[in-house]
Amino acid sequence: MRIGLIQTEVAAADFSVNLRSAVQSARACIDAGAELLVAPAQVLDGAFLGGFSTRTSFLLQASAALQALSNELSVPMLLASYAAKPGESQILPSPYLIGRGKVRQLKTRHTIRLSGKRLTVHVGASPSFDFSTADICVYLPVQPWDMDMLRNDLTCAETLCQHNSAALVLRSVSWSDGCVLGGASYVAVHGGVCCRLPLFHAGYAVWDSCSASTLPEQEMTGPLQLWEAARFAVVQAVRQGRYRGAAVDEAAPRAQLVRVLAGSALGTRRVHTLRASPGKYGRVRCAELQDAAWNRELLLLSTASREDILCGAEKLFAGELAPFGDMYMSEVANMFKCAGLDGKGTLPTARESALRALVDENRSLAELVHRGQMDETFLRALVRSLARTSSLRHTITQPVVLRTRSSAPTLPRFHRLME
């Protein structure tokens, strides 16, 4: 059985663009001999929908797009969508089997038989139930990308493959308001990856289920994935804002690193260096840089890291996008290695460890002091620093939310489309 895998770039609630991309990829897979198509959960609806999934107009458009895609297909396709009758509430999109003008809604954990193969479809979080009766397991996750996601998906695929099953993991690629969705779609058999689509890029592939050969081992987690996610976010921000390129404050720390990142994403000719007048107050200096960038139709990139944003470093906040704004210093140091530059050591500092415990793990100061893990005076000073910058964090540049920690929330708290 030849299965076509589709990985597209999607836009939230933009059915015309998403439908066009899905049809183009589907036709390419069909021309390559695919007997079944599998698409990600957000292939039509888009990612980061916010409150759209409960609106009647959205549900009607989703149903119309699903029917239109079915009319274009000569082979069946598995996907997930929020398309439902108005008034029906859905936390997760429902799986569908469409093709040749027919649309069939499946259950969240549903097994179907196609061409003599038993396929089980799961949408949402990592499946924890028994797949031993299925020949092929299709997993359509919907959570935003994080650094641990690829490792979790691979572990899930290895678990599914223990029952002589093939595991298909399909993801869309998207960027919106600093949040990155995507990763890589792939097929795993007997614990090894035998088909993989490019990381953070649109693409398609046709996999023959009769072939059990695996690809050479490749590290699926680590700094390179963070680097690719940040590059993808810079490209999307420039494209969506219709900028001519990007700009960086030459006097800011880590300016060279951000310049290399933007150059690898856009090309060195589209990356410019700006300079503010010396001796000016921080906010005035930031405003001057922003005006200079807007006058030249450039996206101003901030060099702030997560530690800078949490503890306060005003001169680093100049810009509209912070590619490293969700990374701690040890993670930024790994970015220096990816860029081929000399950076500081990769071991977490005491401040970073404290921030992870207080912010990411939501642990109290009393708990950390009681366990004797950190000095009380140092922790109290750090808590005061967080309190001083709490109001400032609402006005700083938008970071690229890469979800580098597994304890981070699964969805962004705010979204401009909900206004």
What confidence tens digit (pLDDT) does each residue in 81-92 have? 988 776 676 778
Radius of gyration (Cα) for the chain, nearest Å?
23
Contact 201, 184 (CB under 8 A): no
Instruction: Give the span between the Cα atoms of 235 and 242, in whole angstroms.
Output: 10
Confidence of residue 158 (pLDDT cuts 50, 70, 90): low
Nearest to 141 by CA among 155, 161, 121, 158: 121
| Token pair belonging to 101 | 């003008």
Instruction: Give the span between the Cα atoms of 366 and 76, in whole angstroms.
Output: 57
- Mean confidence (pLDDT) of the chain: 81
The DSSP 8-state label assigned to residue 371 in this structure reads T
pLDDT digits (tens, 9 = 90+) for 208-237: 877 766 665 555 557 888 888 899 999 999
The DSSP 8-state label assigned to residue 144 in this structure reads P
Residue with tokens 């690809």: 215
Question: In this model, does residue 174 exceed pLDDT 90?
Answer: no
Instruction: Give the span between the Cα atoms of 284 and 216, in whole angstroms.
Output: 53
Contact 139, 149 (CB under 8 A): no
- Is 2-221 a domain of CATH 3.90.1170.50? no
| Distance, first Cα to last Cα, the chain | 46
Question: In this model, does residue 416 exceed pLDDT 60?
Answer: no
Contact 26, 77 (CB under 8 A): yes
Q: Which CATH architecture has domain 225-347+389-418?
A: 3-Layer(aba) Sandwich (3.40)
Question: Domains of the chain: which residue ranges?
Answer: 2-221, 225-347+389-418
Instruction: Give the span between the Cα atoms of 316 and 308, in whole angstroms.
Output: 8
Instruction: Give the span between the Cα atoms of 159 and 161, in whole angstroms.
Output: 5
Confidence of residue 413 (pLDDT cuts 50, 70, 90): very low
Contact 255, 234 (CB under 8 A): no
Residue with tokens 């010396």: 278
pTM above 0.85, yes or no: no
Contact 200, 224 (CB under 8 A): no
Instruction: Give the span between the Cα atoms of 131 and 108, in whole angstroms.
Output: 14
Of 381 and 161, more confident: 381
- Quick one: what percent of the chain has pLDDT higher than 90? 26
Provide the angle, in degrees to the nearest 10, between the axes of the packed helices 223-241 and 329-339: 80
Question: In this model, does residue 281 exceed pLDDT 80?
Answer: no
Do 2-221 and 225-347+389-418 agree at the fold level? Answer: no
13-24 average pLDDT score: 92
Q: Is 94 helix (H, G, I), strand (E, B) or coil?
A: strand
Beta bridge partners of 114: 117
Helix (H) and strand (E) counts for the chain?
Answer: 11, 19
Confidence of residue 411 (pLDDT cuts 50, 70, 90): very low
